Amino acid sequence: MTTLSIVTKNLRKRLLATVLTTFSIALGAGLIIAILTIQSETEKSFNQTSVGYDLILAAKGSQLQTTLNTLYHIETSTGIVPYALYEATQKDPRVEYSFPFYVGDSYMQYRVIGTSAEYLEKASPRRGMSYAFREGRNFSTINEAVLGSMVADQTGFKVGDTFFFTHGVKMADGGAEEFVHEDHPVTIVGILEPTGTANDRVIFSAVQTTHLVHAPYQEPAASDDHDHSHDDEHDHSLDEVVVKNLDAVLVKYKSPASALQVAGMINYPVPANPVIANNLRRDPLFAYREGVMAVSPAVQIAQLMSIVGNIDWVLKVIAVLVVIVALFGILVAIYNTMEERKRDIAIMRSLGASRGRILRIIILEAAIICFQGSLFGLMLGWSATAAVAPYLITSAGIFIEPFTFSLNHALVLLILVGLGIIAGTIPALKAYRTDVAAHLSPTN
């Protein structure tokens, strides 16, 4: 027999009220935990997704849309840019590396990204991480593809399997149909290790492959007497495929100053100063600036986090309000029992229990309800986050690890227990002031 056993017995005696109050705390706590986890994981996902290139050169339009399209593989592109723009960046001495970027087809719900083989060799999906192969190798020629880890896991595809790109989306009302490129089977040559980014759920292939299914072949060289046509099943090399347009060019410059220079040249009007204007006209990319914009993905991500942060603040306020309501529930639930418990309290006082012990018993009851509610809320929050995680990856390209426990989570739980103690203090004070003599008789 201890003070704690008195408390647990009291809670069990009013089991329904205890369970309901615990559940209300759990709901509030779960909401806070879910918001906290999603917010921190989203921020981490945004921050950790590599912006290993300085600029995205894309058709004029929404810069955020372009960033989401290229980094997180959601949204559509803002339009097309000439393939020659990519070729110009390849020859630009200021450029460390550049990649073509083309999106058009898909397989099931997974996007096909047309790019160069160098993309998987040089780009970083996350800060400090390179692409690695779980199986197989990188694509090197036409009609080869590399799968992100999630694509392979969900489809069950293995290296050596073939599949077909699909163009368009089938509408339920029959207003549109998807088109399967059955004339161009694509062979899986590699499967990537998980990166924890949106790149896990895309399919990589040569940009020439993604164009081959739609565009005509390049005119053959004079010595080549092959008959090139769509009916020709002859294998083509990358050089033989005509690529005219891209959705974007991803560029990493050797110095930040070069990136700034190019962004300024593309995004801003040519200055009136003839000397500066002439210098600009000598820029290798000047000829392509019409209809093109240079996007700094790092800036766009920062702006996006700012927007998300505002929404996050509103959600947190809502969660806090839910918790406050739940804490009031504890206060009212325990307070309402004080009247019927006055005799029990008087009996304990008559046996020698001090007022302080009675106070501690009541406060401990509130603390235990809050503690149990918080733990239960932690599991609820984790479950809610786990339920939302697949939606976030498919709709926003954001990877979240649902079952995280950080210092912030611990602080939330501690604060909840602390607030529960405060809520329990009010009914505890009522118990503290119980008139012993008046309540020892059952008629009082």
Q: Rule CB under 8 A: which residues touch another protein?
A: 1-3, 6, 9-10, 12-13, 343-344, 347-357, 436-437, 440-442
The CB-of-329 to another protein minimum distance in angstroms stands at 22
At closest approach, how far in Å is the CB of 333 from another protein?
17
- Nearer of residues 251 and 345 to another protein, judged by Cβ: 345
Helix, strand, coil fractions of the chain, as percent rounded to 5: 55, 15, 30
Q: Which is nearer to another protein, 150 or 345 (CB)?
A: 345
How far apart are the C-alpha atoms of 300 and 382, rounded to whole Å?
Answer: 29
Query: Minimum distance from CB of 411 to another protein (Å)?
Result: 35
Which runs of consecutive H residues, i.e. helices, occur in 351-406?
355-396
Q: Round to whole Å and give the CA distance between 39 and 185.
A: 41
- Judged by beta carbon, residue 13 or residue 158, the one nearer another protein is 13
Question: CB 365 → another protein: shortest distance, Å?
Answer: 13
Question: Which contacts (CB < 8 Å, 24+ apart) does range 84-87 have?
Answer: 84/288, 85/57, 85/246, 85/249, 85/285, 85/288, 85/292, 86/246, 86/249
Q: Please, what sign has the CA dihedral across residues 261, 267, 271, 275?
A: positive
Distance CA 70, CA 197 (A): 12
User: In terms of CB distance, is 186 or 364 closer to another protein?
Assistant: 364
User: In angstroms, how far is CA 284 from the centroid of its own chain?
Assistant: 37
Rounded to the nearest 10 degrees, the angle between the axes of helix 407-432 and helix 297-350 is 30
Tokens of 53: 């290139």
Instruction: Select 6 or 326, whichever has its Cβ closest to another protein.
Output: 6
Pick the closest to residue 380 from 14, 37, 4 (CA basis): 37
Between 213 and 353, name the residue whose CB sits nearer to another protein.
353
Of 222 and 351, which CB lies nearer to another protein in the complex structure?
A: 351
- Minimum distance, C-beta of residue 347 to another protein, in the bound complex (Å): 5
Tell the burial category of 2 from Cβ atoms under 10 Å away from its Cβ (0-12, 13-18, 19+). exposed
Q: In whole angstroms, how close is the CB of 336 to another protein at the nearest point?
A: 17
Strand partners, 98: 251
Cβ of residue 23: shortest distance to another protein, in angstroms?
Answer: 22
CA–CA gap between residue 160 and residue 152 (Å, rounded): 12
Dig out the tokens for 110 from the structure.
Answer: 């997974």
CB of 443 to another protein, least distance (A): 9
**One-letter identity of residue 426:** I
Q: Which is nearer to another protein, 256 or 356 (CB)?
A: 356
Cα separation of 17 and 78, whole Å?
Answer: 57
Cβ distance to another protein smaller for residue 13 or 137: 13
Rounded least distance, CB 8 to another protein, Å: 11
Nearer to another protein, 3 or 140 (CB): 3
Spatial CA neighbour of 52 closest among 220, 199, 242: 199
| Shortest distance (Å) from residue 323 CB to another protein | 30
The closest alpha carbon to 46, from 414, 416, 325, 397, belongs to 397
